[in-house]
């Protein structure tokens, strides 16, 4: 049976302007997501009783079901989709930026955010399970995903921004009721969050379906350089890992004791190409040099004294790559804690979230590249892609 069209569809403009329907392909409309949510809800109801109870339970007070007067904000069934990443998958950092942007808008509007129930796993960062020996290296991780609840503590997030998962029975019921009510569902595109809040034409809708920037969701928060407009800090989602990940990190920190940490990002950023004259070029000309052990040792000497325990988080895959640092520091890696991590880690996103908690707990933490003025870094190259290809530098400047 065909699902009826939304009661209203809004485009840019305020009250008094003629509403317009944004030119969205059917696959990107709210209805497709509604149908998927409905199918998932039915599957949950037909599955085991334990699965049913999990699907029916939502976060905190919001898990008891919808209340009269609740309003919802829906951005899509996948992070950055609608958008250019519908057929692919961005890394964890980009997806977190997009999620934070959507959560921030829900907080601003005083709405419950309808969070995608799963997050896709980028093949760049998840070629195979780091701690799982039976992983298939040829598997296309960008077409795979993991449960959002396996990454984040939804209850903890909901203490700041109320959240409901899009595969829940409650969300399915909300959609079913809203589709029967006049003016309950609004499909909006090109509308500022201020207008969504202040204009009664939008603010009274039970569900707002936000079509974000086709580039990525986080582009809706492009004014984040204006610190006064930031409602959720960059550390919000990194501080919200699932409880099992927080517990693992706490056990590791207890064993490490008093320690320092460095994050050495190499693999995915060390991409060179040759220009038309056959000369090697790089977007980060000093990164390869600055993240080698001999240069790391010189760089961090002024911040981390000899004899300290140094936790190293890195995507460098060469065995023993950081061993030259062992003549000055007691080195520690995630691989030293396999008995703690193997029972809980299923993908590299979870592993990095644990490592991120370890790095946050260090006495001194040195990043690869600078994000904030106060950061200690291994490399002075800008983190943001400048799109300027330069000759790599391997000697002292």
pLDDT in tens, 59-69: 333 333 456 68
Residue spans of beta strands (DSSP E) within 49-154? 72-74, 112-115, 118-120, 145-147
Pairing of strands 259-264, 309-314: parallel
- Give the pLDDT confidence score for residue 127 in this predicted structure: 54
In 272-327, beta strands by DSSP E: 272-274, 280-282, 309-314
DSSP assignments along 186-201, one per residue: EEEES--HHHHHH-HH
Instruction: State how far the Cα of 234 lies from the Cα of 128, in Å rounded to an integer.
Output: 28
Q: What is the largest CA-CA distance in the chain?
A: 72
Report which of 262, 270, 385 is spatially closest to residue 328, judged by C-alpha positions: 262
* Confidence (pLDDT) at 101: 93
Say what the pLDDT of residue 397 is: 65
Q: Which residues of the chain have pLDDT under 70?
A: 1-68, 85, 124-143, 223-229, 385-386, 397
DSSP 3-state of 251: helix
Helix and strand element counts for the chain (H, E):
12, 15
Can you tell me the distance from the alpha carbon of 258 to that of 185, in angstroms, rounded to the nearest whole number? 53
Rg (CA), the chain: 23
pLDDT given at position 226: 58
Query: What is the structure's pLDDT at 67?
Result: 62
DSSP E strands in 162-217: the ranges are 163-165, 185-189, 207-211
Q: What does the pLDDT read at residue 131?
A: 39
Q: Based on the number of CB atoms within 10 Å of its own CB, is 1 exposed (0-12), middle (13-18) or buried (19 or more)?
A: exposed
Are the beta carbons of 41 and 33 closer than 8 angstroms? no
Q: Specify the DSSP element, H or E, that contains 253.
A: helix 243-256
Q: How far is 297 from 327, CA to CA, in rounded Å? A: 10
Give residue 286's pLDDT.
Answer: 81
pLDDT digits (tens, 9 = 90+) for 269-288: 777 777 777 777 777 778 88
Q: What are phi and psi of 87, to 5 degrees?
A: -100, 0
Dihedral sign for Cα 315, 321, 327, 331, please: positive
């Amino acid at each position: 049976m065909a699902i009826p069209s939304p009661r209203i569809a809004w485009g840019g403009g305020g009250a008094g302007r003629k509403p317009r329907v944004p030119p969205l392909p059917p696959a990107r409309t709210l209805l497709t997501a509604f149908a998927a949510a409905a199918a998932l809800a039915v599957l949950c109801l037909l599955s085991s009783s334990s699965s049913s109870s999990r699907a029916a339970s939502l976060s905190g007070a919001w898990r008891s079901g919808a209340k009269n007067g609740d309003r919802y904000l829906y951005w899509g069934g996948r992070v950055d989709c609608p958008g250019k990443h519908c057929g692919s998958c961005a890394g964890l950092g980009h997806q977190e930026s997009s999620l934070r942007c959507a959560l921030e808008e829900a907080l601003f509007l005083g709405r419950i955010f309808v969070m995608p129930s799963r997050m896709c796993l980028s093949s760049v960062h998840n070629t195979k399970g780091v701690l799982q020996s039976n992983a298939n290296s040829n598997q296309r991780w960008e077409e795979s995903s993991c449960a959002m609840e396996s990454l984040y503590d939804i209850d903890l997030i909901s203490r700041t921004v109320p959240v409901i998962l899009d595969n829940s029975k409650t969300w399915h019921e909300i959609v079913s009721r809203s589709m029967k009510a006049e003016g309950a569902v609004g499909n909006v595109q090109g509308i500022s969050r201020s207008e969504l809040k202040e204009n009664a034409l939008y603010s009274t809708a039970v569900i707002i379906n936000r079509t974000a920037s086709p580039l990525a969701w986080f582009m809706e928060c492009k004014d984040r350089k204006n610190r006064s407009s930031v409602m959720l800090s960059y550390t919000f989602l990194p501080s919200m890992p699932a409880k099992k990940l927080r517990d693992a990190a706490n056990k590791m920190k207890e064993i490490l004791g008093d320690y320092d940490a460095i994050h050495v990002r190499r693999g995915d950023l060390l991409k060179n190409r040759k220009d038309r004259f056959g000369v090697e070029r790089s977007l980060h000309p000093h990164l390869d040099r600055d993240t080698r052990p001999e240069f790391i040792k010189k760089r961090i000497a002024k911040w981390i004294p000899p004899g300290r325990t140094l936790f190293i988080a890195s995507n460098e895959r060469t065995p023993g790559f950081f061993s030259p640092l062992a003549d000055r520091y007691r080195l520690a890696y995630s691989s030293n804690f396999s008995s703690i991590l193997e029972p809980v880690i299923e993908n590299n996103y979870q592993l990095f979230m644990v490592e991120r908690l370890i790095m946050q707990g260090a006495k001194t933490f040195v990043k690869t590249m600078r994000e904030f003025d106060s950061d200690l870094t291994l490399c002075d190259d800008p983190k943001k892609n400048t799109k300027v290809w330069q000759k790599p530098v391997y000697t002292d400047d």
